[in-house]
Chain A
Amino acid sequence: MTSAKILIVAPRKDNDPTVHTYDWAQKALYIAKNLGYETKILEKDEVTYENVTETIKIFKPRLFASFSHGCPNSLQGQNECMVTRKFNPSELLQMYNSNDQEKIDVFRKMFNPLGNCSTVNGMCSLDDNICNPLCTNDTNINELKDTITYATACFSAKQLGKCAINYGVQSYIGFQDLLMFPVDSRKSQDIFGEIQLEFYRSLLMGKTIKQAEQDMIKLEDDYIRKYKSVKYMSLPMLWNKVNRRILGDKNVSIYK
């Protein structure tokens, strides 16, 4: 029996959340290998649009797991978008002329990625969500047809995830807003990684998307209750829970 293949992508930049999501990706790699899955990881500078596209085509993963930055319309590699869906000019024009605030917002973010970024002590305000520079790479989300795509990344469930389902991705798990987690000397970020990996682990144990989601929610709720009074543990945890989206078929498992 051929085992399902797993492709993990993990960009990493210093002084960036990817320092931590990269660690989570390494744990994901360990879990997958330990369970006997044929697993490949693209990391750091390997995470280019070209590499990711080619690897998906050749390796044909059943599960694509991205631990990266994300925007409404793309997942980000080391220095460029790596999984995306390209808009054609007429779609861009429609967005520009739309009365739908969300579409206008997407348009604005694509062409003015830093928005009205105001810096406070060198940090940006989130009044305008920071997005990636305009991605001009061609659509490659279609290459993930028939996969389960697990995006530990901001925003991508908002547009890319929906698009992915239209292109035949069986299930897309991601966030419709920012992914948040605290980082401190006590390594509280590890708990957030543990929650993310709970879903992944359950999936690799052969559970369906729905069952894996339940496992993750149980762990998440336990932690939220446990740290309820520690505001900046429980609040980002609940934030992530509220903004997580599971699109497509919830009854599939890694074994189809």
Chain B
Amino acid sequence: MVCNCNKKLINNTPETLIDSKFEKLSLDEPDKTVIMAGYSQFTINQLENEIDSNSEIGKKLKSVEKLLEKY
């Protein structure tokens, strides 16, 4: 299964800023890397879908994503 977000994120990743250990972290295997959240676990694809569909969790994630800009 292809993850569109994967390409988008890889392209935005300046690898020099990241430990080589984490270069591809969470980006290269969108169906294998999971995000643990309570009793649930999401693949990156699924969380991206939550954000895109503006679900309850998606909205919350978007608002936190905005805060990331301050860093």
Contacts and interface: CB of A to CB of B under 8 A. Distances in A.
Interface of A: 16-17, 20, 69, 120-121, 123-130, 154-155, 177-186, 188-189, 221, 224-236, 238-239, 242
Contact of A234 (B39, B40, B68): B68
Interface residues of B, number: 39
Interface string B22-40: 1001110100111111111
A242 to B, nearest CB: 6
A182 B34 contact: yes
Given A123-B46, A183-B33, A224-B71, A130 B27 contact: no
B42 to A, nearest CB: 6
A184 B18 CA distance: 16
Contacts of A189: 36
Interface string B7-32: 00100111001110110011101001
Interface of B: 9, 12-14, 17-19, 21-22, 25-27, 29, 32-44, 46-47, 50, 55-57, 60-61, 64-65, 67-68, 71
Contacts of A130: 38-40
A93 B50 CA distance: 33
10 contacts: A121-B46, A123-B40, A126-B38, A127-B55, A180-B35, A184-B29, A184-B34, A224-B68, A226-B18, A234-B68
Contacts of B27: 230-232
Contacts of B57: 125-127
A188 B26 contact: yes
A184 B17 contact: no
Nearest to A129: B38
Nearest to A175: B38
Contacts of B64: 235, 238-239, 242
Contact of B33 (A69, A184, A225, A234): A184
Contact of B21 (A121, A124, A186): A186
Given A226-B17, A231-B9, A236 B56 contact: no
Given A180-B37, A231-B26, A236-B35, A126 B68 contact: no
A188 B68 contact: no
Contacts of B61: 235, 239
Nearest to B13: A229
Contact of B14 (A188, A224, A229, A235): A229
The 4 closest A-B pairs by CB, nearest first: A232-B26, A126-B57, A17-B36, A184-B33
Given A126-B55, A227-B22, A232-B26, A178 B71 contact: no
